[in-house]
Structure formats: C-alpha cells, structure tokens
Amino acid sequence: MTLMQPLPGFRDFLPEDCAKRNYIFARWRRVARRYGFVEWEGSPLEPTELYKKKSGDEIVGQLFNFTDKGEREVALRPELTPTLARVVAAHEREFKKPLKWFSIGQFFRYEKQQRGRLREHFQLNCDIIGENDLAADIELVALCIDVLRTFGLTEKDFVVRISDREFWTGFLRERNVPAERWDELLQIIDRSGREPRDKTAEKLGKLAEPVFATLHSGGKSEKLDRLIGGLRARGLADFVQIDVGIVRGLAYYTGIVFELFDRAGKFRAIAGGGRYDNLIAQLSDGAVSLPALGFAMGDVVLSELINEIPRAREAMQKAVASDRKIDIYVVIAKEERRADALAQIQQLRDRGYRVDYPMTPTKVARQFQAAEEAGAALALLYGDEWPQVKVKNLPTREESLIDHGALLDSVAKFFNVGSSA
C-alpha cells in the first residue's frame, strides 16, 4: 500500500474538485430550501445494529464496521435513512408534522470500486415525515427533478423511473409466499434488470415466469396515474416513466419507489428513494409510528452526468471560474508602504472584499501578473503616490489616484456600480 495515494475508492479533493463539489452542494441546498425543506445533520458513526435491523443484507455486507475502544460494534454510516428514523422517533414531540428535512453528508460503503461507485460518496437526502397523502410523493419527485434541472439538465438528459412496491408485495401475497422471504425476493427482482435472465430465473425458481410476465406487462394502478397526473399539472410529466422493474435494494420501502437515470443509459442511478412508512415504528419498537418518504442523490454519478452534457458542464466551469476570483489585489510598489497597505487590506477584508497581496517583496510587474491570474477586478498600488493610492480597473485598464482616506468609499462605489450593472 502506497502512502502517496488515498485508499481505493476514496478521493482527495484538490481546490478545483472542491469548487465543483461546492457548486453541487450549493444547488442541492438552494432547491431543497426552495421547497421549504430545512437542513439537519446526523451522526456519521452509528451502532452496526441500526443497519442490521432494517437496511437489508446488501448494505450490511458493505459496511465499514469495527469494534471501538469501548467494545461497541460500530459502523460508518452507509446511508442516512436509519439515522433519520432514529432521530425523528427520539424528538417526535418537538416538531409539527409534516417534517421536511434535508441533509448533505458523506457516506461509506465497502463496494467493489467501479464507474460511478466508490467507497465514499456524498448524498443530498430529502425526506418528508408524517404525511400519508400522495401529495407528498408528488412533491418529493418534483423536488428530485427540480434539483437536476438547476444543473441545466432537461428531460432529454434524465428520467425518473417510478414504481410501487405494493405491486410486488401484492404479487407475493397472492401467491402465498411467506413474508420472511419477501426481502430476499424483492432484492432479486430489483437486480433482475442488471443480471442475466437465466441467473434471475434460477434464483426465483417457480416464481420466475410470473415475475418476468409482470415485468414485461409494465404496471398500471390508480395511485400511479394520480402521481403522474400531479406531475403533469406541474409541467413535469415528461421527466417520468412508470417502470415496475424499480423495486429498490433497501429493505424498508413500502409504497411508491423511484430511481433517476441518465437517458442514454450510460450510468448507474443518480438518485433513488420512496416511501418507508414502517421504518420509524420498527426502529423504535412501536413507540413512534409515522409515515415517511424520501430520496438520496449521490455526487459521483451526478458529476459524471454533468461532465457528459456540454450545457451542464459549461455552466459548472463558468461558476467555478467566477467563484475562484478575488476582488482586489494590492500591489506593494515600495516596501516602506507595506504597513500602510496592510492596514487598508485589513479594513477592506473587514468589509467583506476578497483581497490578496504579495507576502514578500516582489517585482511590480510580477504583482500585476498575480492580480490578473487571481481574476481581480481592481488593483490598488501603494508606492510613490502615497498618501494617494493608484487604483487600476484591471478589465478596462483605467487608472485614477485616490487619497487613502477616501479609498474605502471609492472601492465601495466601484463594486456597487459593478454589481448592479
């Protein structure tokens, strides 16, 4: 193992990567807040038991878990939903329902590393707690679509595939399949789209033919019709498609489920979610029972899709470049003026401007070059002109001399005019 690289499936974020990540986080946060969701955060380390109880075998097999120094069995969180259920059950009385909560955080799954799948990733989670009505499912799917739309992506770029787990639980009930086997069978059906038909058929045994027939026939229900109708009323129907093959790998889902994919079918799911009306009751041993639904969107596949679509990629590059820019570069042309310059730099920074300057004596031409490279709008030169300061508008090259006492007002005027133009 080399110490010069991160562990397999882990990433370092260099400044450019961090800027891209912040671009994604800012849009996630903005749209969630637009829908009236409030931000929260859970603990990153949990008792392993929390996931064993209800997430399902697939995710338990991928846990980063260990025994801590206090002999506790713990795991880095692979997802947020069980933590959310725990927190809501513990604090239920403190909040009016429905709760609309979102969170942005890092998650850990020991997966086989492949395109779109790492061992850490960031997710936006949006959940609604305490609302039974289908209006909440419509709101959640609309939010998921609108998050992607803010990246410049359209119905030509991605699709939300929607289903209802009750199709399959009804199907298994009709065939008298014992409830203990449902989780396992639902996971097999969930994976059927990604596996050779023979392999799925072997696992399903005598259920294989009716499962394939159901998958083939598509799905229809009054509930799904109403859901699509609700999205149509918002002008979002072109973003969705009914697909009974969507079952979801996690064990706790109970009703409407959905996954978001790129239209070209190049990547794995960008987001996934659905209703989990029993999870809070199950985790709190019946102490609190609340219907719930939510989704999570990952940063890894989303970044790949943004890079793939020129419109979205250019918007990100533009935002990242403009975010990197500073406002003002202070050129220290005479070392005797350094103390005066630093006093004004402090005042400018106190007023919120992004200001940089050379920390050691540097040729004036090099300082101007640094100002250009940093994308500064103004250069302030401290030299022979003191007590006046030379102010240079870098894009237009215009120069003027301002008395240092009037400098702060003059800078404020420049940026106010600039920002309202």
Query: Which residues form the interface with ligand HAM (CB under 6 A)?
Result: 79-81, 109, 111, 117-118, 121, 123, 125, 127, 250, 269-273, 294-296, 298, 300-301
In the 3-class helix/strand/coil scheme, how is 202-220 assigned residue by residue? HHHHHHHHHHHHHHHHCCC
CB of 58 to ligand HAM, least distance (A): 9
Q: Which is nearer to ligand HAM, 65 or 81 (CB)?
A: 81
If you search the block for the tokens 């109970």, which residue do you land on?
254
d(CA 151, CA 159): 15
**What whole-number distance in Å separates Cα of residue 6 and Cα of residue 291?**
40
How many C-beta neighbours within 10 Å does residue 10 have?
A: 12
Which of 153, 270 has the CB closer to ligand HAM? 270
Give the nearest distance from C-beta 108 to ligand HAM in angstroms.
8
Region for 343 from its dihedrals, namely left if φ exceeds 0, alpha if ψ lies in -120 to 50, beta otherwise: alpha
Other CB atoms within 10 Å distance of the CB of residue 240: 23
Shortest gap between Cβ of 254 and ligand HAM (angstroms)?
Answer: 11
Sign, Cα dihedral of 80, 81, 84, 89 = negative
**Cβ-closest position to ligand HAM:** 298
> How buried is residue 129: exposed, middle or buried, by Cβ count under 10 Å (0-12/13-18/19+)?
buried
305, 146 contact by CB (below 8 A): no
| The one-letter amino acid at 234 | R
Asked whether 231 and 240 are in contact (CB, 8 A), the reply is: yes
Closest CB 320 distance from ligand HAM, rounded Å:
21
CB of 244 to ligand HAM, least distance (A): 18
Tokens of 130: 């305490």
Q: How far is the CB of 223 from ligand HAM (least distance, A)?
A: 18
CA distances to 56, 241, 250, 296, 303 from 211, in Å: 21, 20, 19, 28, 35
**Contact yes or no for 104/124 (Cβ under 8 A):** yes
For residue 83, the minimal CB distance to ligand HAM (Å) is 10
Cβ closer to ligand HAM: 80 or 147? 80
- Per DSSP, which regions of 199-318 are E strands? 240-242, 256-262, 271-275, 292-298
Please identify, using beta-carbon distances, which residue of 118 and 309 lies nearer to ligand HAM: 118
Q: Which is nearer to ligand HAM, 117 or 313 (CB)?
A: 117
| Shortest CB 322 distance to ligand HAM, Å | 27
For ligand HAM, give the closer residue by CB, 47 or 116: 116
Task: Give the HSE-up count for residue 9: Cα atoms under 13 Å, Cβ half-sphere.
Answer: 16
Q: Given the complex with ligand HAM, which of 121 and 337 has the nearer CB atom?
A: 121
Distance of alpha carbon 17 from alpha carbon 22, whole angstroms: 9
- Measure the CA–CA gap between 157 and 111, rounded to whole angstroms: 27
Specify the 3-state DSSP secondary structure of 225.
helix
* Between 79 and 183, CB nearer to ligand HAM: 79
Contact 78, 109 (CB under 8 A): yes
Residue 230 vs 294, nearer CB to ligand HAM:
294
CB of 115 to ligand HAM, least distance (A): 10
Half-sphere CA count of 22, side-chain side, radius 13 A: 14
Q: Which is nearer to ligand HAM, 63 or 332 (CB)?
A: 63
Q: Assign 352 to helix, strand or coil.
A: coil
Q: Which is nearer to ligand HAM, 110 or 386 (CB)?
A: 110
Alpha-carbon Rg for the chain in angstroms:
27
Q: How far apart are the first and last CA of the chain?
A: 55
Q: Minimum distance between the CB of residue 294 and ligand HAM, rounded to whole angstroms?
A: 3
Q: How far is the CB of 355 from ligand HAM (least distance, A)?
A: 38
